[in-house]
Each structure stands twice: as C-alpha cells, then as structure tokens.
Amino acid sequence: MKPTRSKSPARTRKLSPKRLRAHPFPILEFDPSPTAIIEPRRIYKAIDVPKHCVLCFFQDVIDDLVQNGGAREIDHADSEVGRHPMYEVEIDGKRLAVVHPRIGAAMAAAMLDRCIARGVRKFIACGGAGVLDSKIAVGHIVVPNAAIRDEGASYHYLAPAREVTPHPRALAAIEKTLQRNEMDYIVAKTWTTDGLFRETRARMLARKREGCLTVEMEAAAFFAVAQFRRVQFGQILYGGDDLSGKWDHRNWNRHQIRERLFTLAAEACLSM
C-alpha cells in the first residue's frame, strides 16, 4: 500500500513582483499590476455616496450650489493645499455627488481614484479648455471623443499609447443630453498636456493636425483612470482662451456659461 503524506497547513508563498524591463524613458515602463503600495480602497473605505458624480472645475458654481442649491458636504480629504470636499445635491429626486478635481493630471487622477474608492461609479467632468481654432467661440461646447496623452499620469494606469478614449456610454449620454437641450456642440480630440507654459506653436500645430481642437490638462488622465478602474467616465468642455495664434485670454471665465455647462453635465451624468 502506497503511503500517504499528511497534509500540513499551506504555506503562504510570497510572490516576487515582476521585474520591470528598463526603458530609456522611465515613463514608458508600464507595470500592469492591479495593486499599488498605496491602494486607494485601503485608505478610503466605501461609504454611502451617490453612484453618479460631476467633477466640476468651476469653484464659483460649486460655491453657488453650497450657498443656494442645497449642496451639503458628505466627505472630504485633506492635503497640503487644504480640504477637498465631496458634496451631494438632489436633482429631480436623484442623488448626485459634486467634487472639484483640482488642476493638472496628477491631482485629478488622484481625486478620481479617491471618489471611485468611496463608491462612485459614473462620472461626467465639466471644464473649460483652450481652443486650437479661433472659430470656436467662447462658450461653445466641445465633447472629447479621445485625448492625446501628452501628460504623465495616464502612463501609470494604461500601457503606452498615443490616445485614450472616454467610456462609450458616457459619450453617448453627453451627446443625447446636448441634443435634447438643442445645444450646438463639436465632437473632437483634445490635447492633454502637463506643460502649461510649454505649449509651443510647433506642438500646437502638430496636435491640430491630429484632429485636436482643444488643449487642457486632465482629460487623458481621467479616461485612463476610468478604464483601469472600470467605471464610466466622459467629459464636456467649453471653448475658453485661444491658442491658435497669438495667445488671447478672451475673458473666458464667465459664470453663466459655466453654470449652464454644469447643469448639462449633471443631466448627462444622471442619465447614465
């Protein structure tokens, strides 16, 4: 009779992380591991938050929601630049979270990751952007259907590629909302860059040849985080300053336009 070995408690094997192959450019050394050393869901536990959220770049609109629109703070994070609150408003009986994502791809990516860890699953971001075509008037709506990844954050979430796209359901929700409200809009690529003061004319023309009509600092990171975390995300922009020739600020920070864009973003988000 063949002897049998008694079963001993299974030993926990510590798997060594996959060794990254060195690349001349470290930003291209993508690690597909789903778990990071600082994992958002370990820090920010899921709580009772709305499943829908508008990431709103307009602090004046958020302030107005708090003062006059019944928005209440339901969560916050702290950093060296202060508090990062999450608000909740009720629109037609539906719960909606509202968060300012801060400026720049790195911070915006982190804010989105925090919201996802808390329990939000469907997002629309609304903000302004520089235009690469002077024919796009201040306030005209541009809906990004892709973003050129000329920033850094997206490369930590997705393998290197030239472009990244929003979730198709979010894009469809935005378009249906704009059509329902009889709004004129353009669907086009956007150029996401970290280099606010390095948007040179040669780079601008190169992006324009690729089909970009706007330039901003967050869309590519947003789309990449959303794909990595498997949540729905889209963005709606309005034409701001003009970078197609000599820079023209065009006095584009106009409250009425921003307030209207937030309303459209909220409607689109809640329809997802």
> Is 141 contained in some domain?
yes
> Is 30 contained in some domain?
no
> Is 190 contained in some domain?
yes
Contact call for residues 110 and 117 (beta carbons, < 8 A): no
Q: What is the pLDDT of residues 10-65, one digit of tens each?
A: 444 555 667 888 899 999 999 999 999 999 999 999 999 999 999 999 999 999 99
> Is 42 contained in some domain?
no
Distance CA 26, CA 46 (A): 33
Nearest Cα neighbor of 34 from 225, 233, 228 is 228
Q: What percent of the chain has pLDDT over 90?
A: 90
Q: What percent of the chain has pLDDT over 70?
A: 94
Distance CA 80, CA 100 (A): 16
Tally of domains in the chain: 1
pLDDT in the model for residue 196: 94
pLDDT in the model for residue 14: 54
pLDDT in the model for residue 1: 44
Cβ neighbors of 162 (< 8 A, separation 6 or more) are 148, 149
Contact call for residues 201 and 215 (beta carbons, < 8 A): no
Tell me the CATH number at 245: 3.40.50.1580
- Token pair in block for residue 255: 């409250």
pLDDT in the model for residue 10: 47
What is the average pLDDT score of the chain?
A: 94
* Rg over CA atoms, the chain: 21
Contact call for residues 181 and 266 (beta carbons, < 8 A): no
Distance CA 104, CA 4 (A): 62
> Is 133 contained in some domain?
yes
Summarize the confidence of residues 159-188 as an average pLDDT: 98
Torsion on CA atoms 252, 58, 53, 95, rounded to nearest 10: -110
Summarize the confidence of residues 222-240 as an average pLDDT: 98
> Is 31 contained in some domain?
no
> Is 191 contained in some domain?
yes
Cβ neighbors of 166 (< 8 A, separation 6 or more) are 144, 145, 146, 222, 223, 226, 233, 234, 235
Q: What is the pLDDT of residues 65-79, one digit of tens each?
A: 999 999 999 999 998
Summarize the confidence of residues 235-245 as an average pLDDT: 97
Distance CA 258, CA 164 (A): 26
Instruction: Indicate whether 8 pLDDT > 90.
Output: no
In the block, tokens 């235009």 appear at 131
- Residue 149's domain comprises 47-270
What type of residue sits at position 177? T
